[in-house]
Amino acid sequence: MRVTIAGAGAVGRSVAQELLDNGHQVLLIDKDPGAINADTVSGAEWLLADACELSSLEESQMQQCDVVIAATGDDKVNLVVSLLAKTEFAVPRTVGRVNHPSNEWLFSESWGVDVLVSTPRLMSALVEEAVTVGDLVRLFTFRQSRANLVELTLPTDSPHLGQRVGNVTWPGDVALVAILRDQAILTPDADRSLEGGDELLFVASEERETEIARLLAPDEHPG
């Protein structure tokens, strides 16, 4: 997969290294000469250019990208990059980084953003995850599909403790995508049983989030 990342700051470089380690092709774009340093992310391609300019994106051959990540520290830049990638180059998937919470509502399909990643929201979610069991934590939003990635840590008094995944009647518009247990990532096979302390990751519509919480942790979320 070919990925273009606009913004070669700490966030952009970290994401680039992860993608390279997983075997993907990565191009980093930044207009600051001081940010262009091939030694910091070996294996990546680099382009000194303004990602908000159409000519720069043409030079990057963005039409050949599978994913564009707008990861700069400027929300306006991230919106423009996402919009140009989607409308001018028909990039299949765009990911937009939100730096300021008040701008989160702008990162929508109208601006070409498929996946919104809000740094403040993620930090808040991680704090909530660390101190709560049975509460649903929204990690991020898929704007194009109007769904969210949410997490719930299964309490030890859940009525579904020990039950097979395939025997649970999940709400509509809800998909259990992973179970995190003892530092392992488990696939939610129908025969796998649920254990107390499991971190359950769901993709769900916003309307179904409360139903998930009431299903798995009714004591914390009475109807």
Q: Enumerate the domain spans of the chain.
A: 2-117, 132-216
Mean pLDDT over the full length of the chain: 88
31 confidence band (pLDDT: 50, 70, 90):
very high
Helices H / strands E in the chain, number of each = 5, 11
Q: Given this model, what pLDDT does residue 131 score? A: 46
Q: Given this model, what pLDDT does residue 127 score? A: 53
Q: Is 29 exposed, middle or buried (0-12, 13-18, 19+ CB in 10 A)?
A: buried
Beta partners for 150?
138, 202
Mean pLDDT, to the nearest integer, of 55-76? 95
User: Six-digit token pair at 62?
Assistant: 């963005």
pLDDT tens-digit series, residues 141-167: 776 677 888 888 899 999 999 999 999
Of all residues in the chain, the percent with pLDDT exceeding 70 is: 91
Cα separation, 138 vs 16, in Å, equals 25
Cα separation, 37 vs 126, in Å, equals 31
**The overall pTM is greater than 0.75:** no
Amino acid at 30: D
Mean pLDDT, to the nearest integer, of 32-57? 92
Those residues with Cβ within 8 angstroms of residue 191's Cβ, 6 or more apart along the chain or in another chain: 164, 165, 166
Q: Given this model, what pLDDT does residue 22 score? A: 86
pLDDT tens-digit series, residues 163-192: 999 999 999 989 999 999 887 889 999 999
pLDDT tens-digit series, residues 85-130: 999 999 999 999 998 888 988 998 899 999 888 766 665 555 555 4
Q: Report CA Rg, the chain.
A: 20
Q: Which residue has the higher pLDDT, 216 or 135?
A: 216
Residue 213 neighbours by CB distance under 10 Å: 17
Write down the CATH number for the domain with range 132-216.
3.30.70.1450
Q: Diameter of the chain by CA atoms?
A: 58
Q: Given this model, what pLDDT does residue 136 score? A: 77
Q: Given this model, what pLDDT does residue 223 score? A: 64
CATH 3.40.50.720 fits 2-117, yes or no: yes
Same topology between domain 2-117 and domain 132-216: no
Residue 153: closest CA among 205, 210, 211, 195: 195
User: Six-digit token pair at 78?
Assistant: 């991230």
Q: Given this model, what pLDDT does residue 188 score? A: 93
Those residues with Cβ within 8 angstroms of residue 85's Cβ, 6 or more apart along the chain or in another chain: 4, 57, 62, 65, 68, 70, 91, 94, 112
